[in-house]
Structure formats: structure tokens, C-alpha cells
């Protein structure tokens, strides 16, 4: 426990944050020097790397993210297998950063875990209504493989307090991006798109956020089905197609998630393979490129619809700051610029936070704040009854 005591006493910590999102591309690992807390927090990025999942592992994760194809044995094994991938990513990030002693030069790891199931609304199970979320890649296994204390599994404490366990990133958005002069929207384009609203000069208690709907998840699934490719590089295929506006508006009008007011969150359970297959059937007769263009436009349209319905009247944006893998989809970024024609659209890289590394950096910050004893869930975002400490602290022998 001496290691843990020293960790509590440190003011500045070198932390590796790990993120593997619902798109199941692989693991992002970002190393940063983090100090302070709350609005006084400073996060200095030191290095970043991304490790793709081996194809067999990605397929197993996909199978076990769907109730009809998952198994208890597979989830048990994957919980440990993913932790091994995380440990490899930590070592690679430490080497990339040239840390003295490699991974042993880290003070702490913050790991989101790989989401395989998310149930944000209350459901009755065995006589009690509960919410749940399952992130695998066990933090205690990771701590022992890497030889570094780990804070992981951040969502469930918020759910225990009545929240949806998501989105959690808005605390990070607030401490690093809130402005006294500008009202800013923070849009992350991962498997799912989520939006944080940062009113100009407002305290953290007035920050709000929610998942707007699909982003890369539907696009990537269609690329796999139509082109046997993992993603639409640069959005090139979508750019060659024509958006079918009638079909797009039908899809939007029929999906009740888009009209549901926040707090709300979603995931692969709603916008996974079954959703993409239904879109393929509805687009029968369209060219593959037209279908890709329409699916890409669905993300841009649903983000702007969320802004129109739930944000613009109260907090019109001065700037929309975009991060996540979707920033590399040029067709999607052009569509967002068209939808948000009266708003400046930039990437987080413009503000010194690599758009690819942003979410991984978030979990580095969250681990640091948990060790500081500071809650990072925002009840106005998740719906929790109050703020609470997030994550499990796991220490190697």
C-alpha cells in the first residue's frame, strides 16, 4: 500500500489514459502530466499511440456485444484478453513518450474499458428496477500486467446514484474547454456522437450533454457490408455519392430517440448491426455510394437536430469543437459545416488537444481526479441524484 500512499500524496502525476470505443477499432493510449483539480487542473499531453484490435478479437467483441450471439464464457475470457491488449498499449505509449523506465515511469493508468452492453433506462430484473453498463478489460488484471495502479470502470457509481452512467466526458470538456466569452459545443464523433454544451462563463453545474445518435458505428458497419472495408477513408466514398434526402428524413422522423429529451445516452444496442442491416434493406436499389452518403448525412443531420431541439434557443453556439475518429471523415465534416452554417466549426486540435487523443486523455484526467477525491460525474448531464467518486482503484502487488 506504500505505492498507493505515495500516489495520493503526489501533486502532479504522469498518467496514461486508455480508450476503446463502441466502434471497436482498437485502443487509444495517451500519456499526460496532470496536476491540480477542477478549473485549476492542467493537462500536458506527452504522447499518444493507437493499437488496432486483432481481427479475431474485434469479431469476438462484436459477437459478444449482441445478446443473441454473446456467451458468459466468452465475456469472461474477453474481460482478461482485452486487459492484455490494454497492457500492450500502455507499454507502447510509454515507449512513444520516452518515459524513463518505460511503463514503470507512469504514476497511474485511467481505463474506460471496452463497452459491450449499456442499459441506461430502468428495467425490472428479478423484482427490482435497475440500470447497468458493462465495460470489460478488467482493471485489476491490467494493474498487475502493467505494474501500475489503475482506476477503471467509471460508469457504475453514477448509475448507483440514479444516473445513466453517460456521458461522462463533459467534466473533461468543462475543465479544459469552457470559455468566459464563447458558448461552445463539444462534439465527439466515435461510434456514437455525443454533444456537450458549455455556456459562456457558466459554472460546471450548468454544463449539459447527451448522446445525439449514431456516428462512425453505422458508417463503419455499412462499409464492412458493402465494401469489405473497416471504414470510409477520408469519407471518399460518401463524397462520391448523393444524399437521398427523402430517405434521410424518413429515417430521422421514424426514430424516437432523436426526439427524446436529455438526459439520454445510447450505444450499439440501438445503432449496431441490426440498425445498419435495416438501413441496407431500406436503401435497396440505391448505389452503394449513395447509401454511404445518406448514412453519413444521418450523423450530421441528427447532431444538428439535437442542437435545434434541445440547445439553440437557450445557448446558441459560437463555436462547435469536434473530436474523435469522425474528424478524419471529410465528407462528414463538410456536412456538419453545412448544417452549422452560422457556427464556427473547428477540431479540438485547434486548441492543443489532439482530436484522436482527446477521449483517452479524458480517462487520464478522471483517474487523476479520483485519486484527488473529486467527483467528476455531472448530475445535470447523467441524471444522477448527486455527484459521486467514479471508478475502482486497483493496485499491483
pLDDT at 371: 97
pLDDT at 21: 86
* DSSP three-state, residue 129: strand
- Phi/psi region, residue 165 (left: phi>0; alpha: psi -120 to 50; beta: rest), is left
Taking the CA atoms of the chain, what radius of gyration do you get in angstroms?
20
pLDDT at 9: 85
pLDDT at 4: 76
In a domain, residue 351? The reply is no
User: Where in the sequence is the domain holding 61, given as residue range(s)?
Assistant: 2-166+357-394
* DSSP three-state, residue 327: helix
Please check whether residues 48 and 12 belong to one and the same domain: yes
pLDDT at 279: 96
Q: If you ran DSSP here, which 8-state letter would residue 312 be given?
A: T
Please check whether residues 143 and 112 belong to one and the same domain: yes
Please check whether residues 111 and 216 belong to one and the same domain: no
State the pTM of this model. 0.91
Please check whether residues 102 and 212 belong to one and the same domain: no
How many domains does one find in the chain? Answer: 2
Please check whether residues 91 and 238 belong to one and the same domain: no
Alpha helices in 283-329 (DSSP H): 288-310
pLDDT at 1: 63
List per-residue pLDDT tens for the chain, 397 residues long.
666 777 888 889 999 999 998 888 899 999 999 999 999 999 999 999 999 999 999 999 999 998 999 999 999 999 999 999 999 999 999 999 988 888 989 999 999 999 999 999 999 999 999 999 999 999 999 999 999 999 999 999 999 999 999 999 999 999 999 999 999 999 999 999 999 999 999 999 999 999 999 999 999 999 999 999 999 999 999 999 999 999 999 999 999 999 999 989 999 889 999 999 999 999 999 999 999 999 999 999 999 999 999 999 999 999 999 999 999 999 999 999 999 999 999 999 999 999 999 999 999 999 999 999 999 999 999 999 999 999 999 999 7
Please check whether residues 160 and 187 belong to one and the same domain: no
In a domain, residue 347? The reply is no
Distance CA 108, CA 106 (A): 6
- For residue 61, the domain's CATH number is 3.30.420.40
Please check whether residues 128 and 217 belong to one and the same domain: no
Please check whether residues 112 and 124 belong to one and the same domain: yes
Please check whether residues 208 and 156 belong to one and the same domain: no
In a domain, residue 301? The reply is yes
In a domain, residue 350? The reply is no
Please check whether residues 103 and 14 belong to one and the same domain: yes
| Distances 40 to 118, 176, 369 between C-alpha atoms, Å | 32, 9, 12
Amino acid at each position: 500500500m506504500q505505492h498507493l500512499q505515495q500516489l495520493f500524496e503526489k501533486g502532479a502525476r504522469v498518467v496514461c489514459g486508455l480508450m476503446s470505443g463502441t466502434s471497436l477499432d482498437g485502443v487509444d493510449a495517451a500519456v499526460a502530466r496532470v496536476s491540480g483539480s477542477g478549473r485549476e487542473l492542467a493537462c500536458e499531453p506527452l504522447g499518444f499511440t493507437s493499437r488496432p484490435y486483432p481481427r479475431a478479437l474485434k469479431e469476438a467483441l462484436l459477437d459478444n456485444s449482441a445478446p443473441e450471439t454473446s456467451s458468459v464464457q466468452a465475456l469472461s475470457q474477453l474481460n482478461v484478453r482485452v486487459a492484455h491488449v490494454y497492457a500492450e498499449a500502455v507499454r507502447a505509449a510509454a515507449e512513444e513518450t520516452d518515459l524513463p523506465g518505460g511503463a514503470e515511469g507512469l504514476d497511474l493508468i485511467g481505463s474506460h474499458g471496452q463497452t459491450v452492453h449499456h442499459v441506461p433506462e430502468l428495467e425490472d430484473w428479478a423484482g427490482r428496477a435497475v440500470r447497468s453498463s458493462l465495460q470489460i478489460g478488467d482493471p485489476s488484471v491490467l494493474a498487475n500486467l502493467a505494474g501500475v495502479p489503475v482506476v477503471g470502470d467509471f460508469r457504475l457509481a453514477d448509475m448507483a446514484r440514479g444516473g445513466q452512467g453517460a456521458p461522462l466526458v463533459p467534466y473533461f470538456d468543462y475543465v479544459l474547454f469552457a470559455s468566459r466569452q464563447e458558448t461552445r459545443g463539444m462534439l465527439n464523433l466515435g461510434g456514437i456522437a455525443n454533444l456537450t454544451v458549455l455556456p459562456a462563463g457558466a459554472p460546471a453545474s450548468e454544463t449539459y450533454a447527451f448522446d445525439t445518435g449514431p456516428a462512425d458505428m453505422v458508417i463503419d458497419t455499412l462499409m464492412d457490408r458493402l465494401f469489405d472495408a473497416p471504414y470510409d477513408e477520408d469519407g471518399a466514398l460518401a463524397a462520391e455519392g448523393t444524399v437521398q434526402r427523402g430517405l434521410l428524413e424518413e429515417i430521422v422522423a421514424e426514430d424516437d430517440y432523436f426526439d427524446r429529451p436529455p438526459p439520454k445516452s445510447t450505444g450499439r444496442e440501438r445503432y449496431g448491426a441490426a440498425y445498419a442491416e435495416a438501413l441496407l434493406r431500406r436503401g435497396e436499389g440505391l448505389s452503394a455510394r449513395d447509401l454511404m452518403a445518406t448514412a453519413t448525412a444521418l450523423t450530421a443531420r441528427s447532431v444538428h437536430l439535437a442542437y435545434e431541439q434541445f440547445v439553440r434557443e437557450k445557448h446558441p453556439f459560437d463555436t462547435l469543437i469536434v473530436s474523435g475518429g469522425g474528424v478524419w471523415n471529410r465528407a462528414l465534416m463538410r456536412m456538419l459545416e453545412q448544417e452549422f452554417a452560422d457556427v464556427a466549426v473547428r477540431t479540438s486540435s485547434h486548441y492543443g488537444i489532439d482530436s484522436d487523443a482527446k477521449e483517452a486523455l479524458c480517462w487520464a484526467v478522471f483517474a487523476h481526479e479520483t485519486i484527488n477525491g473529486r467527483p467528476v460525474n455531472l448530475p445535470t448531464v447523467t441524471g444522477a441524484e448527486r455527484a459521486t467518486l467514479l471508478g475502482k482503484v486497483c493496485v499491483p502487488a
